[in-house]
Amino acid sequence: MVDLADPEADLRRLHPRFAERVFTTAERHALEASRPDAAVCDAAAPRTTLHWALWAAKESAYKALKRIAPQAVFSPREFEVELPSVPLVEGGVAVGAVVHRGRRFRLQIQQHGASVHAIATSGAAVGAEILCRVARCQGDPSAAVRRIAIRAIGSALGLDPAALQIVGRPPVAMCGDDLLGVDLSLSHHGQLVAFACALPHPGAPASRGMLSPCVSSTDLPVRPSSAPPLSLR
């Protein structure tokens, strides 16, 4: 998840070879085919938005992979994005996939105003309800996103938020001394915070590595493109 109002969204701040180092040949072709941006960086410009959608997808899939393969290393070009379409309006959702060395992650990118929340899920999340929120905050983003997640998870599971806490890294949700069966990820960038979690079926055990949203708190922001549908394979 990324706040496009943050200066990091400006492509002019990137290293000239960033795209070559990060994106596959097919992804770079898709970027080149998108309409060139205006002289002033515009959050809605097709090339800018597609650029960050691709980055969001890669980083989100890496976070999900890291949970099931802790030894994994982030090599962006090894995460190949399949994004047939992108959201064009507020609240839109783009659905695709990210492939890493034969392992496939389902992908969805949600647009919320000046933010984009990319969520990658592994096969373990099949049938699980995905709960997510994006919000603007002031103060400590780590504390703010935990408060938002606790309220939403408590409401979804019929639990008193006062009895819940989020601890550890990667974060886990607890009710008292009990581990809740949710796979949780938190993110923040600029003035925005977000969380996503996979709620299992009733009675299902906790499972790690199901889901992870994109986080880019110090590196690069993300947003889906408003360009026409693209095939990146």
* 113-168 confidence digits (pLDDT tens): 777 789 999 876 666 788 999 999 889 999 999 999 999 999 999 999 999 999 99
Examine residue 233 and state whether it is found in any structural domain, yes or no.
no
pTM (2 decimals)?
0.80
Examine residue 231 and state whether it is found in any structural domain, yes or no.
no
Spatial separation of the C-alpha atoms in residues 48 and 28, rounded to whole Å: 12
Examine residue 222 and state whether it is found in any structural domain, yes or no.
no
The candidate with the shortest Cα–Cα distance to 106, out of 124, 121, 85, is 121
Average pLDDT, integer, range 50-57: 86
* pLDDT value for 48: 76
- With cut-offs at 50, 70 and 90, classify the pLDDT of residue 230: very low
pLDDT above 70 covers what percent of the chain? Answer: 75
Spatial separation of the C-alpha atoms in residues 117 and 224, rounded to whole Å: 9
pLDDT above 90 covers what percent of the chain? Answer: 42
Order of strands, sheet of 183-189, starting from the edge strand that comes earlier in the sequence: 129-136, 192-199, 183-189
* pLDDT value for 90: 60
Examine residue 15 and state whether it is found in any structural domain, yes or no.
yes
Structural domain span for residue 161: 2-213
**Quick check: 107 pLDDT over 80?**
yes
Residue 210, by phi and psi: left (phi above 0), alpha (psi -120 to 50) or beta? alpha
Angle of helix 46-68 relative to helix 25-33, nearest 10 degrees, comes to 150
Is the Cα dihedral 30, 35, 38, 42 positive or negative? negative
Examine residue 156 and state whether it is found in any structural domain, yes or no.
yes
Structural domains counted in the chain: 1
- Compute the mean pLDDT over every residue in the chain, rounded to the nearest whole number: 80
**Quick check: 51 pLDDT over 70?**
yes
User: Which residues sit opposite 187 in a β-bridge?
Assistant: 194
**Quick one: tokens of 132?**
């997510």
Examine residue 219 and state whether it is found in any structural domain, yes or no.
no
Examine residue 228 and state whether it is found in any structural domain, yes or no.
no
In the three-class reduction of DSSP (H, G, I as helix; E, B as strand; rest coil), residue 49 is classed as helix
Angle subtended at Cα 107 by Cα 32 and Cα 221, rounded to the nearest 5 degrees: 55
Examine residue 226 and state whether it is found in any structural domain, yes or no.
no
* Mean pLDDT lowest among 29-38, 131-140, 182-191: 29-38
Q: At which residue do the structure tokens 């959608």 appear?
A: 53
